[in-house]
Chain A
């Protein structure tokens, strides 16, 4: 049977975390207990953080505005960018924060009800933070693909129903 392939296990969960442990066990050629304990272990180690659903907000008629903000930061002795990043990611409006290479330092994804709300958040909360040099706000106009899933593509099977 061999040790469980954690990468494959995670790939399966990332594609569909609702698949039963029994089914995963069959797919990986492992017994159910091994699968359960591997998942539990990765949850405990916070390798697996959460099991969210991927949603198409446009279909939902949700008008939430998303923006990506390029933030330039002056790094600080000993902590680099981490402290400023934390000051930013603590805000619930902030959905993601990444440290980037290239022309700016932090990429911040913000959600708000209106463009104005987002713009004000940037002006009043982000831009004024100590060590933040500048911000540039880009609003998302349309989503095509996220996490490997194409929003507007229905999976159609064009194959003949029976073939040799």
Chain B
């Protein structure tokens, strides 16, 4: 017989974490039949065959064991080559790169290795759901920095200056952005770099969507002069090579930082799964053509979806990266939550309320275009009918 209520045995920091804003909506969708879901935050492509085949081959040869805590040297060397060639940033493969269980683990490691109790982390909003909770779990304090549609959801120094304090330790940069699809260009990043320098901040650059940049080219934050040492760069294979389920990501940074992150990784994960690492190696060595094919497809769908939203009156700023459109739903007079619930109930189309990614997402919805053209076409027709109905209801 337990002597106290169950909750008292738990860590209050965890108990008080809000559940992911997506959870409730997930249950709602799961209980509706015949849904077209544009609420999925992962590629609709299956991992390219050559990558899957490389994994079979690795298994046949008996690669079923632990790897170095850091990950296999071959993969780290290949990542170093890739980062240098593609993003002009040099890392020493054996001491400055750590292979993690997805980019998600890398975010957690960075927060735990860097934050002291009570230190603040600037987190742009709206953004991916994990940053603020990982800060909290590491004993830090997340501080939301709103971004606005008038700025194309780019992070501005003005907004940052309003939130920075003497206790701020780190800034999260997550571009191309989930959920908005916003990207940051070099001059904008240079302004952020000056801000980081001025306040002596660390920067966690989560660039998992880097390869999915459709207009202009991705600028990696550590490639900006003077930023490499203060930046923890996170990337992976999930989005670029449609490898979400393999759970392979990596973190690059100063070797002092990587050494401490590796300690946590070593005691908790030991290493990323070897099959995933072998597959990732194949992706980097021979995955360019397939990746380009997928990016081309996303780009066409992106134009189509954004065009349709603007036609139906859901004003949509031009998302230049990731695979999300983030249209405004203000013409419907509905809140994000209400819009998504009604759309699901009336048209069986699932999209995610902008508020799942922070309060500044109110008035917007996240629509993933990682879905077949046929699905997208059907969903857009349904949404158009829905929007028309909402406007009629409003008028009457």
Task: Please report A residues at the B interface, Cβ cutoff 8 Å.
Answer: 8, 12, 16, 19, 23, 26-29, 155, 157, 159-164
Contacts and interface: CB of A to CB of B under 8 A. Distances in A.
B29 A161 contact: yes
B181 to A, nearest CB: 15
B30 interface: yes
18 contacts: A8-B300, A12-B300, A16-B374, A26-B304, A27-B301, A27-B303, A29-B303, A160-B40, A162-B22, A162-B26, A162-B37, A162-B40, A163-B39, A164-B20, A164-B41, A164-B128, A164-B178, A164-B356
Given A27-B301, A27-B303, A159-B44, A164 B308 contact: no
B39 A27 contact: no
Contacts of B92: none
Contacts of A27: 300-301, 303-304
Interface in B301-334: 301, 303-304, 307-308
A16 B20 CA distance: 39
A160 B42 CA distance: 9
Contacts of A29: 303
B25 interface: yes
B300 A161 contact: no
Given A16-B373, A23-B377, A26-B308, A162 B25 contact: yes
Contacts of B55: none
A161 B296 contact: no
B79 interface: no
Given A162-B29, A164-B20, A28 B128 contact: no
A8 B30 contact: no
Question: 8 closest A-B pairs (Cβ-Cβ)?
Answer: A26-B307, A162-B39, A27-B300, A162-B26, A161-B37, A163-B41, A26-B304, A164-B129
Most buried by B among A19, A155, A157, A160: A160
B35 interface: yes
Nearest to A26: B307
A158 to B, nearest CB: 9
A161 B373 contact: no
Given A160-B40, A164-B41, A8 B296 contact: yes
B308 A163 contact: no
Interface in B174-189: 178
Contacts of A155: 372
Given A27-B304, A28-B303, A163-B39, 19 more contacts: A12-B300, A23-B377, A26-B304, A27-B300, A27-B301, A29-B303, A155-B372, A159-B44, A160-B26, A161-B40, A161-B350, A162-B25, A162-B37, A162-B350, A162-B352, A164-B41, A164-B128, A164-B129, A164-B130
A26 B20 CA distance: 34
A162 B42 CA distance: 9
Contact of B40 (A12, A23, A28, A159): A159
Nearest to A163: B41
A161 B39 contact: yes
Contacts of B377: 23
A12 B297 CA distance: 10
A50 to B, nearest CB: 22
A23 B374 CA distance: 11
A26 B37 CA distance: 22
Contacts of A23: 304, 377
Nearest to B35: A161
Residue with the greatest number of chain A CB neighbours at <10 A, chosen from B39, B44, B372: B39
A159 B42 CA distance: 8
A27 B30 CA distance: 31
Nearest to B296: A8
B52 to A, nearest CB: 14
Contacts of A163: 22, 26, 39-42
Nearest to B310: A26
Contacts of B308: 26
A161 to B, nearest CB: 4
A157 B300 contact: no
Contacts of A159: 40, 42, 44
A157 B41 contact: no
Nearest to A155: B372
Interface in B17-40: 20, 22, 25-26, 29-30, 35, 37, 39-40
Contacts of A12: 300
A7 B65 CA distance: 45
A87 to B, nearest CB: 40
A164 B178 CA distance: 8
Nearest to B377: A23
B46 to A, nearest CB: 9
Contact of A164 (B22, B30, B304, B350): B22
A161 B350 CA distance: 8
